[in-house]
Amino acid sequence: MTQEPRGERIAKWLGRTGVASRRDAERMIEEGRVRLNGQPVTHPATFVTEQDLVQVDGKAVSSPDRTRLWRYHKPDGLVTTHKEPEGRPTVFASLPEGMPRVISVGRLDLNSEGLLLLTNDGELARRLELPSNGWIRRYRVRVFGVVDEARLAALAEGSVFEGVRYGPIDAGLDSRKGDNAWLTVSLREGKNREIRKVMAGLNLHVSRLIRTSYGPFQLGTLKRGELEEVPGKILREQMPKGPEKSGSRTSASKPRPTR
């Protein structure tokens, strides 16, 4: 007798719907916010099929759509969060009508701008954020102060400021005018507000921070507030190699930058 398929673990399924990342979905389950066919879900390894009814906070969740990814030019002045108790404007409230629910791949703080990747698939977001991908995040940074190029170059060996250890950062001086300078800064894994804190450790104040690329995905010519979907073929080609799969995605070979 053929055994009926068990379906997919509910935390992963919720991640693919864009409701939350898998980690956040597990937290929702712990908080008793998720129900399956009217019954509370008590374990993230619970399986769900297309025939099941899943509810979060009493609202039905639709089955996952095909995986999609967008490049978004985040302006400064927006926070990258769905719930903002202080009432500040958010990235998600600024998106065009008709957009599905999406989550961000990583974050940019209130005063930072530039490339932000958005996806309707929380599992994809988790995979693209993994440090093991080795994807470089590149920034253009305007600083105020006297740039010591030797200390800037030394950041490539890692650094410690105010008791916090930071990984290697590649930073170079692009131009200088008076006390203002533009730098190109690249890192593979960043802590919260890392660039601002490291630059402060070099007695440099960051007055502007623009992310220009995240792995193979480029800001390109996107204007502030502009959104553009990454074609499915390019998304499949750029997916980092790994044993995990989500939906119909497949890993691919060498990354090729997108415009």
Question: What band does 252 get if pLDDT is binned at 50, 70 and 90?
Answer: very low
Distance in angstroms between the alpha carbons of the first and the last residue of the chain: 51
Q: What are phi and psi of 230, to 5 degrees?
A: -80, 125
**44 pLDDT more than 80:** yes
Question: What band does 246 get if pLDDT is binned at 50, 70 and 90?
Answer: very low
- Which tens digits make up the pLDDT trace of 114-138? 999 999 888 888 888 887 888 899 9
- pLDDT at position 241, please? 63
Judged by average pLDDT, the poorest of 16-20, 209-213, 227-231, 235-239 is 16-20
Q: Which of 93, 71, 70 is nearest to 81 (CA)?
A: 93
109 in catalytic set: yes
Among the listed residues 52, 109, 148, 174, the single catalytic one is 109
Average pLDDT, the chain: 86
- Rounded to whole angstroms, the Cα distance separating 71 from 128 reads 13
**251 pLDDT more than 60:** no
**85 pLDDT more than 90:** no
**98 pLDDT more than 90:** no
Name residue, tokens 């993994």.
130
The tokens for 15 are 């991640």
Q: How far is CA 224 from CA 72, 182, 239, in A?
A: 8, 20, 26
Highest mean pLDDT: which range of 36-50, 56-70, 138-152, 188-202: 138-152
CB atoms within 10 A of CB 198: 24
| Mean pLDDT along residues 232-255 | 58
Q: How far is CA 168 from CA 5, 220, 238, in A?
A: 46, 25, 24
The proportion of the chain whose per-residue pLDDT surpasses 90, expressed as a percent, equals: 54
